[in-house]
Amino acid sequence: MKILNLLIIGDCNVGKTSVILKYINTQNITTETTIGLDIFRYHHKLYESIIYFYDISGHPRFSHIIQKYVESIDGIIIVYDITNRESFDNIQFWINHVNNIFDTSIIPIMILGNKNDQDNMRSIGYNDACNFVSKLNCFYKETTVFDLSNIQKIIDNYVSKILYDVNDINDINDDNLNDNKNNNNILDQYKLKNKNKKCVIF
């Protein structure tokens, strides 16, 4: 069984916890602001993996928790609120912070714009966000907690990138993610192609 450790960071009230809870199929996504650190465990049967989500509070005073409690990370997801310009501007702060702790040259980072159901209140254009993120050599996606299938596709694609060293987060077609038979075939191909590559295994 493979173990994946994913770090979820970003400003307060951007919806980090809600995204995680929606992904792991928790029905009630009403959450309070995270104080310090929350850890969520999810058994992904299709990927034969245990995924740990390390949900770090967005308060700057808790940013030291990353270095204190999180030793090994396989992926980093930085969440911001597309209706909150400050949360977008602070992406660079979070990038700099994790760069000081981990070797991010070998850790795929995804920037996730949340709350795109409020597109009419958007404070940063989609193309502007894409251009900014491309300069950081990160992946970029947008979602809302009210769209379960989109959240599942995004995070499943991201997990595939980590597990099977997919060159692009879109390499696994979204349609195939909805078809277990096709998805298993695709994953088997990646396993064969990358059988000598390792992720964290306990």
Residue 121 is assigned to a structural domain of this protein? yes
Residue 67 pLDDT > 90? no
Residue 16 pLDDT > 70? yes
Q: How many helices (H) and strands (E) does the chain have?
A: 8, 6
Residue 114 is assigned to a structural domain of this protein? yes
pLDDT for the residue numbered 180:
44
pLDDT for the residue numbered 184:
45
Residue 201 is assigned to a structural domain of this protein? no
User: Which residue bears the tokens 């310090």?
Assistant: 36
Average pLDDT over residues 31-36: 54
Average pLDDT over residues 28-51: 73
Count of domains for the chain? 1
pLDDT for the residue numbered 188:
47
Residue 200 is assigned to a structural domain of this protein? no
Residue 167 pLDDT > 90? no
What pLDDT digit, counting tens, does each position of 86-102 carry? 999 999 999 998 998 88
What pLDDT digit, counting tens, does each position of 98-115 carry? 998 888 899 999 999 999
Average pLDDT over residues 122-128: 96
Mean pLDDT, all residues of the chain:
79
What pLDDT digit, counting tens, does each position of 177-189 carry? 444 444 444 444 4
Average pLDDT over residues 45-57: 88
Are 202 and 72 a contacting pair, CB within 8 Å?
no
For 32, the domain range is 2-193
Residue 35: band (very low, low, confident or very high) from pLDDT cuts 50, 70, 90: low
What φ, ψ does residue 43 adopt, rounded to 5°?
-90, 110
Residue 199 is assigned to a structural domain of this protein? no
Residue 15's CATH number: 3.40.50.300
Are 78 and 112 a contacting pair, CB within 8 Å?
yes
User: Any bridge partners for residue 40, and if so which?
Assistant: 53
Q: Taking the alpha carbons of 119, 125, 127, 130 in that order, is the dihedral positive or negative?
A: negative
Average pLDDT over residues 128-149: 93
Residue 161 is assigned to a structural domain of this protein? yes
pLDDT for the residue numbered 156:
93
Residue 66 is assigned to a structural domain of this protein? yes
CA 160/CA 120 separation, integer angstroms = 32
State whether residue 172 is helix, strand or coil.
coil
pLDDT for the residue numbered 164:
82
Residues in the chain, how many? Answer: 202
Average pLDDT over residues 11-31: 78
Residue 75 is assigned to a structural domain of this protein? yes
Alpha-carbon 80 to chain mean position: 11
